[in-house]
Amino acid sequence: MSEQKQSERVPAKILLRDIAAKAYQKAWDAKNRGEKVGWCASNFPQEIATALDVAVVYPENQAAAISAKGGGLRMCEHAEGMGYSNDICAYARISLAYADLKSAEEMEMPQPDFVLCCNNICNCMIKWYENIAHELNIPMILIDIPFKNDYETDDDSVEYIKAQFDQAIKDLEKITGKTFSEERFKEVCEISQRTARAWLKAASFCAYEPSPLNGFDLFNHMAVAVCARGTVEAAEAFEQLAEEYEQAVKEGSSTYKGEQKYRVLFEGIACWPYLRATSTPLKEMGINVTATVYATAFGVIYNNSAEMMRAYSYVPNCVSVERAADMRVNVGRENKIDGAVIHTNRSCKLWSGIMPEIERRIRDELKIPTVTFDGDQADPRVFSEAQYNTRIQALCEVMAGNKEAAK
Positions in the binding site for another protein (CB under 8 A): 82-85, 87-89, 92, 119, 122-124, 126-131, 133-135, 139-140, 142-144, 146-147, 149-150, 156-157, 159-160, 163-164, 167, 320-321, 344, 346, 349-350, 352-357
Between 131 and 193, name the residue whose CB sits nearer to another protein: 131
Between 117 and 188, name the residue whose CB sits nearer to another protein: 117
Find out whether 264 and 340 touch, Cβ atoms under 8 Å. Answer: yes
Q: How many residues does the chain have?
A: 407
Q: What backbone phi and psi angles, to 5 degrees, belong to 264?
A: -130, 160
Between 46 and 131, name the residue whose CB sits nearer to another protein: 131
Quote the CA–CA distance of 236 and 70 in Å, as a whole number: 32
Between 112 and 212, name the residue whose CB sits nearer to another protein: 112
Quote the CA–CA distance of 358 and 354 in Å, as a whole number: 6
Quote the CA–CA distance of 282 and 75 in Å, as a whole number: 29
Of 28, 66, 24, nearest in space to 226 by CA: 24
Q: Shortest gap between Cβ of 354 and another protein (angstroms)?
A: 5
Q: Shortest gap between Cβ of 250 and another protein (angstroms)?
A: 44
Between 135 and 190, name the residue whose CB sits nearer to another protein: 135
Q: Shortest gap between Cβ of 96 and another protein (angstroms)?
A: 9
Pairing of strands 114-118, 262-267: unpaired
Q: Shortest gap between Cβ of 32 and another protein (angstroms)?
A: 27
Q: Shortest gap between Cβ of 31 and another protein (angstroms)?
A: 22
Find out whether 232 and 191 touch, Cβ atoms under 8 Å. Answer: yes
Q: Shortest gap between Cβ of 119 and another protein (angstroms)?
A: 7
Between 19 and 293, name the residue whose CB sits nearer to another protein: 293
Between 46 and 347, name the residue whose CB sits nearer to another protein: 347
Q: Shortest gap between Cβ of 161 and another protein (angstroms)?
A: 9
Beta bridge pairs of residue 287: 262
